[in-house]
């Protein structure tokens, strides 16, 4: 996500950092999303999210922490504060309604949220990313070939269109294979 909004104004960045994935019922407490530059795809699909919670006030604060835009299912919550460490298992509907958190004055806490099916979701993201990279590489080779000889081979063009169609139909394995056929034939 960071790359997608690199040159935009601060408003989208602030939204993604402080409000998009988690909200505190107490506006004095900071909830900072740590996944905007690395791990944004996992944060977006809800398979894994990382936050820092911070109470900057001189008073203890108890608040409701609500997670937003989560897929259905069971999540592991890993709470880390100072040297203490606790793991809870919580359903997505409970996280959406909110969990009660208490922070002491100037206390910060790290929170990691992971869907119980996160491994499968990460594997899907990896397959999608591989097909995207293969299609990008195939397109670059098509352009280089066309620049050298005036046109790209008709078969490579057909394969490229097939790769795009497969990708649009969420058949990422087929998209990867078609793009790989292009790169193999043009390298």
Q: What pLDDT digit, counting tens, does each position of 149-183 carry? A: 888 888 888 999 999 999 999 999 999 999 999 99
Three-class SS state of 32? strand
Report how far residue 56's alpha carbon sits from residue 103's, in angstroms, rounded to the nearest whole number. Answer: 10
Planar angle of CA 32, 73, 99, nearest 5 degrees: 45
Helices (H), 29-171: 40-45, 92-97, 118-149, 154-168
- Pick from 76, 75, 162, 179: nearest CA to 127: 179
Give residue 29's pLDDT band: very low, low, confident or very high (50, 70, 90): very high
pTM confidence score: 0.65
Per-residue burial over 51-69, b if 16 or more Cβ lie within 10 Å, else e, is: bebbbeeeeebebebbbee
34-84 pLDDT, tens digit each: 887 776 666 666 678 899 999 999 999 999 999 988 888 899 989 998 888
Element (H, E) at 183: helix 172-186
């Amino acid at each position: 996500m960071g790359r997608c909004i690199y040159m935009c104004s601060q408003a989208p960045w602030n939204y993604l950092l402080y409000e998009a994935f988690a909200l505190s019922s107490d506006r004095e407490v900071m909830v900072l999303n740590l996944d905007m530059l690395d791990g944004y795809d996992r944060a977006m699909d809800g398979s894994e999210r990382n936050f820092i919670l911070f109470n900057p006030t001189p008073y203890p604060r108890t608040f409701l922490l609500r997670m937003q835009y989560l897929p259905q299912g069971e999540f592991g919550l890993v709470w880390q504060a100072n040297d203490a460490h606790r793991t809870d298992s919580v359903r997505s509907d409970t996280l959406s309604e909110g969990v009660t958190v208490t922070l002491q004055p100037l206390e910060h806490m790290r929170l990691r949220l992971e869907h119980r099916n996160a491994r499968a979701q990460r594997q899907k993201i990896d397959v999608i990313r591989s097909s995207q990279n293969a299609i990008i590489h195939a397109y670059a080779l098509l352009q280089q070939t066309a620049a050298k000889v005036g046109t790209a081979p008709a078969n490579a063009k057909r394969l490229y269109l097939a790769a795009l169609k497969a990708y649009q139909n969420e058949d990422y394995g087929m998209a990867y294979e078609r793009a790989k056929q292009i790169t193999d034939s043009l390298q």
